[in-house]
Structure 1
Amino acid sequence: MLLAIDTGNTNVKFALVDDSGEIVKRWRIATDARRTADEYAVWLDQLIQMAGFRRSDIKAVIVATVVPRALHNLQLLASHYFDCEALIAGRGSVGWGIQLKVDEPQSVGADRAVNAIAAQSLADGDKLVISFGTATTFDYIGPDGSYRGGSIAPGVNLSLDALYAAAAMLPRIAIEPPPNESVIGTTTVGQMQIGIYWGYVAMIEGMIARMKAEIGKPVTVIATGGLAILFQQHGHLFDRVEPDLTLRGLAHLYRNRET
């Protein structure tokens, strides 16, 4: 069994992947670059047992990270507690296997490259991948699976935190769809919900339309990240929602590694 680890700026996501490549269990924990391998192991060991598995069932570990300082302790987790060397996405036997057709390929985040790999396994033709995380990213994947570039916008929760921190009279609110489609609110909280929700819907719709026009061909739009379903409920913006896209990409990368 494979342990796939996706380290983002906000959360570290773990998934148990069986020999067929299917995710059988997933967990997440807040990202903290100071968290030690021992701390990960204590937390993870309990969850593995609660899921009906044993630590010894895990024979390999693969990691994608956009938090370089967290990598060392995840490598120690693999070597000390799973008796294997962690495979690092994009390096060695798990090189991308796709072209990064951008001016600075070395700066492409591991999560975005892995998402491109997963998207290529899910759909033919040209693809857009929209990922809702600390940042909201829009990525164009060519019909050959190559990463062609994209854009980065502040994430929804990041925008909410900035609004709360900078405006003394505004309360902290949770991101949720407004009760109706009106964009004229009559309370402060209602106006904030409208601004953040329908404002992001408008941005997403606009970015998709602009990218499709620039590509000039039919495009499959794939969304991932915890907030993708929330926006799909009212906007119907995407052709498919894949919450585990990055983890699935890691599993695909592992299955197709050089041996």
Structure 2
Amino acid sequence: VEPGVRTGVPLLVDNPKEVGADRIVNSLAAHHLYDAPCIVVDFGTSTCVDVVSAKGEFLGGAIAPGLEISSDALASQSAALRKVELVRPRSVVGKNTVECMQSGAVFGFAGLVDGLVRRVRKELPAFSGSDVVVIATGDRAPLIMPETETVDEHEPDLTLEGLRLVYERNQARRGARRSPLE
């Protein structure tokens, strides 16, 4: 997705050129699948919380470090901590350093997501109702989503669905411009 590619997603932000392709196609797919106001949480390299209007407009969002980046930074910047497997610990109250780090990562990121979603709902009146769908995607969604209180749906292929929709939209456009002799 680059300049000149039609996505059909109005980017209602200060600088549309700064919006990543993943955020655009996720917004397109979310609107296509749910036809409602959506908040998309993408657990990737970064954790993106993106806001999509009922009309399919990208309104903006929030970007935080991703789970892996945060965990790696903690291990590399601390003399006493090492990299740990990112899995759900047995309790929020860890009984050893590994469990404590896992708890901070898993439950901490769930809290981050819940906090951002609640703030969006509070700040934007159109997102305070029960018709808003909060969708999780990204490779770490299955780990964090069960610990959240605000995420409604899991769409593991949301980005791919958005790319498919963009492709189809642009193929139809190309086909419409062809002459009858082609």
Aligned to 1:144: 55
Structure 1 or 2: larger strand share?
Answer: 1
Structure scoring higher RCO (CA < 8 A, sep ≥ 6) equals: 2
Report the Cα offset of residue 232 of structure 1: 2.1
Cα distance in 1 between the residues matched to 2:168 and 2:17: 23
1:199 partner amino acid: G
Tell whether 2:103 aligns with 1:194. yes
Q: 1:211 aligns with which of 120, 126, 131?
A: 120
Asked if the contact 1:90–1:96 (Cα under 8 Å) also holds between the matched residues in 2, the reply is no
- Taking the aligned partners of 1:248 and 1:124, their CA distance within structure 2 comes to 15
Q: How many Å apart are 1:233 and its aligned residue?
A: 2.7
SS in 2 for 1:101: coil
Q: Secondary structure at the match of 2:42?
A: strand
Is this contact kept in 2: 1:124–1:143, CA < 8 A? yes
Equivalence for 2:178: none
SS of corresponding position for 1:151: strand
Give the letter for the 1:186 counterpart.
K
State the distance in 2 between where 1:184 and 1:223 align: 26
Segments of 5+ residues of structure 2 without an aligned counterpart are 175-182
Shift of the alpha carbon at 1:222?
Answer: 0.8
How many residues align structurally?
A: 168
| 1:236 positional shift | 5.1
Taking only aligned residues, the RMSD between alpha carbons, in angstroms, comes to: 1.3
Q: Distance in 2 between matches of 1:125 and 1:215?
A: 15
Amino acid at match of 2:156: P
CA distance in 1, matches of 2:58, 2:47: 17
Aligned partner of 2:134 in structure 1 is 221
TM-score, scaled relative to structure 1: 0.62
Conserved 8 A contact 1:126-1:220: yes
* Contact 2:30/2:158, CA 8 A, preserved across alignment: yes
Report SS of the residue matched to 2:165. Answer: helix
Among 118, 133, 156, the alignment partner of 1:243 is: 156
Partners of 2:11 and 2:33 in 1: CA distance? 19
Q: Is the CA contact 1:231–1:237 (under 8 Å) kept in the aligned structure 2?
A: no
CA distance in structure 1 between the aligned counterparts of 2:77 and 2:147, rounded to whole angstroms: 29
Q: Do 2:36 and 2:53's aligned partners in 1 also have CA atoms closer than 8 Å?
A: yes
1:90/1:144 CA distance change after superposition, 3 Å: farther
CA deviations 1:126-162 (Å, max 9, x no partner) are 1100101110001000111110000100000000100
Distance 1:223 1:252 in 2: 19
Q: Which moved more, 1:192-201 or 1:231-240?
A: 231-240
Bigger helix fraction: 2
Q: Does 1:107 align with 2:107?
A: no
Relative to the length of structure 2, the TM-score reads 0.87
Residue 60 of structure 2 aligns to a residue whose secondary structure is: strand
Q: Secondary structure, in 3 states, of the residue corresponding to 2:75?
A: helix
| SS at structure 1 position matched to 2:8 | coil
